Every structure is written in structure tokens, then in C-alpha cells.
Amino acid sequence: MRMSHGLRRAGRAIAGAVLFLGFAALAQAQNCSLASWNGTHYFLITGTGPNTAKTQLVPYAQLGKLVADGKGHLTGSATESANGLILQLSLAGTYTVSADCSGTQSLTVTPSTGSVFTSNAAFQLADGGQQKLTATLGAGIVLTGRAYPAFAEGGAQCGDGSAIGSYGMVSASPALGTDSPFSAVGGVTMDGRGGLSYKFQVNDSNSDAGGVTSQSGQGTYTISPDCSGGGSHLGGVQTFLADVVEGGNLLFLETDPGTVFSGIVQPQSRLLVVPQIAFGGAWYSALYFTNPTGGAVSFPVSFTADVGTPLMVPSLGSASTTVNIPAQGTAIVEAPNVGSLSQGYATFTMPPGVSGYGVFRQSVPGQPDQEAVAPFAVANANGSSLIWDDTNFTTAIAIANTGSVAAAITIKAWDNNGNLVGTSTMNLGPYQKTEATLRSLQGLSGVVGLRGRAFFAATTGNVAVLGLRFGTSAFTSIPAN
């Protein structure tokens, strides 16, 4: 049956109205300002840009750091590769942000050699200000990129342990002089202690091996407290810069002369932690996993006691177990309420696609059982934030350092009006964990009767946090970000 012209027009009008209302609602929901772009961010831009002498446009990549003050001012630094010529840049300038989350920036760029110049760009904030999508402005210039918050914030500091596990990478390099363009895809494994291994498939248009070669090897890396870093492959034949950003991703730029090779390295799997495991003495804990993929998976789960030693789980007969899950299947690891109280945490690296959560239960004779969910947390985080409520409740916290380096942790608490009400410090040895009420920590008694936000910053080591809110007859978990 054919639709009449009138019905078609009406249909288009309705669709247009729905689309307009959708955009109107989106625009109404946006409320960005200068404060939406604040703190330390790392960026990577690539494309076609000016050479060092500003006489021609060439293949170009730039990796850098910008610190925004939330009031329209920027400072930073960067490394550029312009047609394979590596140069250091000092950056300073201003930025604007509109209510619709669009913005502009103007940077005065001072190169290590050459003349000072101005670089202008337009950008759009995304993901609540967690990403900045940018395009450099200028005749003939085609440079685009993204900026991300540094992996550590609020006084937290990065280290080699901030990069750990298996990562995937894909990138390409344009033709430079007589060198042909090539692309590379593969994986990198970082051990959290400065060692790495990699395996790539490289497609070189002039390769004698039909265009595709396989490359593998080892190397080293370092991550500085500000989350910038660097390293080398194959005994220094290839050197690179790398910055750890939100989500544990790494931005990289090869710094060997004659190359324009850059990209983003993303975690394939992450070391995860349940910061609170308790069993015995009226407590029970369990870990639930699901595998929605089309293939079976297998991975180990390890338990660590508060003092940093392996935690024996009687039901397992060991401090670790291997979880096997068929395609579309689920699995559970239980620590029953048997014997005296034991406490610690659980760590595991789940295969891609697998997810889950933890549960713990308290059983008191004559009272209903109480349960709470313990979400999985990233084990190599440098900072963690939670919302606390100590009005008619008591907030308890479990804090774990899953790294091999002692953790120096600063805890700051703000009330609901943003006033700082207390600061505390603590040290946790390698692989150690502690638990306490928030109000009992030295310097944090001011949280009593209030509610607000607490931030846990590790200046060394790692920190993972889980909160618990206790009322007169029940408790629940408080997730930390």
C-alpha cells in the first residue's frame, strides 16, 4: 500500500519534531563552563602540520601535557615529530568553554630551537569533560586529536605500577622521504616494574616479505609521578614517550629521528581487586563471574591477607584458585562462614568480556542476615574517591595496596558544601590492606554528623577502596571511583 503525500509529510514532520526535541533536550542538559576543563591532561594530535621552519606542511604528530586552571589559563609542554624531526615545545595560553561544551584555545608555542609562534584550535568536551576532542586551525593544516585526564589526580602520583598487564595497540606511519608507509598492530605486556614485551604484525608496503612481517622483543619503561614516561625497545633501537591517562590507556610517540609513529595503547585486561573479603566469625564472601563470550575462559583468583601474605581460604584449600567458565556460563568462588574471622582482598585479571561482582554477608544469631555488593575495582589506581554519610550512619572503609611498592596515602574529606573538614595520612606496605571507620582515622573526626566526599591519593604505591555504610540495623556498600 502506498503512503499518501500528506501522510509522508506528516511522518517527516513528526520525525523532525522528535529529532528537534532530542537535540533540544541534549542542548538543555549541557551546562559546561571553564571549570569543566580543569587539571592535568595529556594529548596526542596527528595529521598534516607545519615543519619546523614553517615553510611546508608535512606528516606530523605531537604528544604533550596541558594543565588547565579551570579559569581559562593553560600551561604545558610537548614533543613534536614534524616529518621525523623531533623538537621540544613549551606551551602557555588561554581557553574558552561555552555552555554547549564547545571551546577554543590559543597557545603561545616556544620551541627548543626556532621562533615562537601561536597555535589556535577548536575543541569539544565529551564524556562529562573526561575527553577533549580537538582540531588545530590554520590554512592547509589537518591536525586532530584527543586529550585525557592524567591517570592520577588530587595529589595521587603515578609510577611503574600504573602500567601493568596486557595491552593492545594499532598505529600507522606515513611515507617519509624514501621510507614507505607502514602500519602495526599487536600486543604489549607490561609487568608493573619497568619491563615490557611486545609482538606486532607490521604491514610495510615495500617489504620483501609480501608486505607483512612479525616483530617481537623486550624493552623497558618508566612512569614518572606526573604520569608521563618513556622507554625503549630492543636495547634502545626504538625509543618512545608514553603518558598514562584516564582508564589506564597509554598515549605514545616514537622519538627516534626520521619517524612519525604514534598512537594509543589500550588495556586488553586489567588487574582487578575486591578490596574487602571477610569469612568466618559471622562473615561470608563470594565472587560471581559471567562469561558472555563464545568461548571458554580460564583465569586465576588470588587471596591476600591484610598483612600482605597469601590468605588461605579453607573451602579452597589454598590462597588461590583457577576459575573455569564455559561460553555463556557463570562461576562462583565462595569463602564460607567457617572458623574465626579472616580478612583480606581478592585480585584477578579477567579475560576480555568477562564481568562480575563480589558479595559479602553478615550472619548474627537472632537477626536477619545482611548482605552488600562489592564491585570490582582497578588494582593499579593511584587515587580513589567515595561519597560518605556520617549523619545518622557510620562510614567504614577498606583500603588495599595491591602493588609491590609501599603506599603513602593521603585522605582528604570535604563536606557537602565543599569545605575541607579533615586530612589524614597512612602508610601501607606492599600488598597490605587495612580497614577502619572513617571518623576513627587521625585527623578525620570532623566527618561526624556530616556527609560529603573523601579522596584517597597514593603518592607512592597503589590504592583501592571500598566503603561500607552502617546504620542501626543494616549496612550497605559504597562504591569508590
Contact 192, 163 (CB under 8 A): yes
Residues linked to residue 350 through DSSP beta bridges, in sequence order: none
Residue whose entry in the numeric block shows the C-alpha cell 550497605: 476
Q: Residue 356: in which H helix or E strand, if any?
A: strand 355-362
SS3 state at 243: strand
Q: Residue 18: in which H helix or E strand, if any?
A: helix 5-29
Q: Would you state the pLDDT for residue 27?
A: 40
Grade residue 4 by pLDDT with cuts at 50, 70 and 90: very low
Grade residue 79 by pLDDT with cuts at 50, 70 and 90: very high
pLDDT tens, residue by residue, 175-218: 777 677 878 888 888 888 888 898 888 887 665 555 778 888 88
Q: Would you state the pLDDT for residue 170?
A: 85
Residues linked to residue 324 through DSSP beta bridges, in sequence order: 298
Residues 6+ apart with CB under 8 A from 152: 158, 162, 225, 226, 227, 244, 382, 383, 457
User: Could you give the count of Cα atoms lying within 13 Å of 31 in the half-sphere of its Cβ?
Assistant: 3
Average of per-residue pLDDT values in the chain: 86
Average pLDDT over residues 141-169: 86
Average pLDDT over residues 53-57: 86
Average pLDDT over residues 256-263: 88
pLDDT tens, residue by residue, 295-320: 999 999 999 999 999 999 999 999 99
CA dist 407 and 41 (Å) reads: 24
Sign of CA dihedral 368, 306, 155, 424: positive
Q: Nearest-CA neighbor of 123 among 106, 110, 108, 140?
A: 106
Q: Would you state the pLDDT for residue 31?
A: 86
Asked if pLDDT for residue 388 goes beyond 80, the answer is yes
Q: Would you state the pLDDT for residue 3?
A: 41
Q: Are both 272-376 and 380-481 of the same fold?
A: yes
Per cent of the chain over pLDDT 90 is: 50
Pairing mode of beta strands 249-254, 142-149:
unpaired
pLDDT tens, residue by residue, 107-132: 999 999 889 999 999 999 998 878 89
Domain 272-376 has CATH 2.40.128: no
Residues linked to residue 110 through DSSP beta bridges, in sequence order: 90
CATH of domain 380-481: 2.60.290.11
Domain range annotation of the chain: 34-149, 160-269, 272-376, 380-481
Residue whose entry in the numeric block shows the C-alpha cell 615553510: 55
Amino acid at 78: A
SS3 state at 13: helix
Query: What single string gives the DSSP state of each residue in 58-78?
Result: EEEEEEEEEEEESSSEEEEEE
Amino acid at 310: P
Contact 195, 218 (CB under 8 A): yes
Average pLDDT over residues 335-345: 93
Q: Which of 18-32, 185-199, 232-246, 429-443 has the lowest mean pLDDT?
A: 18-32
Q: Which residue has the higher pLDDT, 222 or 235?
A: 222
Q: What is the pTM of this model?
A: 0.79
Amino acid at 90: S
SS3 state at 476: strand
CATH of domain 160-269: 2.40.128.120
Average pLDDT over residues 22-28: 41
CA dist 106 and 119 (Å) reads: 6
CATH of domain 34-149: 2.40.128
Alpha carbon distances (Å) from 400 to 272, 292, 304:
12, 29, 10
SS3 state at 401: coil
Secondary structure of 349-377 in HEC code, one letter for each residue: ECCCCCEEEEEEEECCCCCCCEEEEECCE
